[in-house]
Structure 1
Amino acid sequence: MSSDHTPFTEHRIPRVEGSVYTRDYAGTGPTFVLMHGFPDNQHIWDDLIPHLVASGRRVVTFDFLGFGASDKPAGAAYSFKQQLGDLEAVVEGLGLGKIVPVAHDSSGMATLNYVLTHPDAVDSAIMLNSAYSEDSTFFWPEMITLFATRNIQPLAMAIAQSPEQFGWLLRWQQKKFLDALPEAQKRHFSAFIGSLISNNFIVQPGAGPAFVQLAAEFFDEHARNAKHLAALKALDIPVKLIWGQYDPYFPAAMAERRQSQLKNASLTLIPAGHWLQADEPAQVAKAMLS
Structure 2
Amino acid sequence: MFKKYAFGSLAAAVLLTGQAHAASYGENLEGFDYPWPLQHFDFTSQKQSLRMGYMDVKPQNANGKTVVLMHGKNFCAATWEGTIRALTEKGYRVVAPDQIGFCTSTKPQQYQYTFQQLADNTHQLLEKLGVERAIVMGHSTGGMLATRYALMFPQQTEKLVMVNPIGLEDWKAKGVPWRSVDEWYERELKTTAAGIKAYEQKTYYMGRWKPEYDKWVDMLAGMNTGPGKEIVAWNSALIYDMIATQPVVYEFPQLKVPTTLFIGTGDTTAPGSDTAPEAVKKAVGNYKELGKTTAKAIPNATLIEFDGMGHAPQMEEPEKFHQMLIDDLAK
TM bracket (short chain): 0.7 to 0.9
Q: Render the CA deviation track for 1:8-58: whole Å, top value 9, x for unaligned.
A: 573424242311111101133321100112222112211221111111111
**Structure of greater relative contact order (alpha carbons < 8 Å, 6+ residues apart):** 2
Question: What secondary structure sits across from 2:94 in the alignment?
Answer: strand
Number of equivalenced pairs: 269
Say whether residues 1:253 and 2:273 are aligned partners. no
Aligned residue for 1:286?
A: 323
Determine whether 1:264 maps to 2:300: yes
Who is 1:26 aligned against? 58
Aligned residue for 1:158? 186
In the superposition, relative to structure 1, how do residues 211 and 110 fare at CA in structure 2: closer, same or farther (>3 Å)? same
- For 2:211 and 2:119, locate their aligned partners in 1 and report how far apart those are by CA, in whole Å: 31
Q: 2:166 aligns with which of 112, 125, 131?
A: 131
Q: Contact conserved, 1:126 with 1:239, CA < 8 A, in 2? A: yes
Residue 239 of structure 2: aligned partner: 214
Is contact 2:182–2:237 with CA below 8 Å preserved after alignment? no
Answering whether residue 129 of structure 2 is matched by residue 97 of structure 1, we say no
> Partner amino acid for 1:69?
T
RMSD: 2.9
How far 1:174 sits from its partner (Å)?
4.6
Matched, 1:238 2:270: no
CA distance in 2, matches of 1:82, 1:199: 27
Please give the alpha-carbon distance, in whole angstroms, between the structure 2 residues aligned to 1:129 and 1:262: 15
Counterpart of 2:143 in structure 1 is 108
Distance 1:217 1:182 in 2: 27
- For 1:66 and 1:154, locate their aligned partners in 2 and report how far apart those are by CA, in whole Å: 17
- Structure 1: runs of 5 or more not aligned: none
Name which of 271, 276, 282 aligns with 2:313.
Answer: 276
Which has the higher mean CA deviation after the structures are superposed, 46-55 or 174-183?
A: 174-183
Q: Which has the higher helix share?
A: 1
Letter in 2 for 1:283: K
Q: What's the secondary structure of 1:288's corresponding residue?
A: helix
* Cα distance change on mapping 1:167 and 1:262 into 2, 3 Å: same
Unaligned 5+ residue runs, structure 2? Answer: 1-32, 270-284
Cα 1:216–1:130 shift into 2, 3 Å: same
Which amino acid counterpart does residue 293 of structure 2 have in structure 1? R
Aligned residue among 70, 76, 98 for 2:105 = 70
**1:190 and 1:282, CA in 2 relative to 1: closer, same or farther beyond 3 A?**
closer
Q: Whole-Å Cα distance in 2 between the matches of residues 277 and 110 of structure 1? A: 18
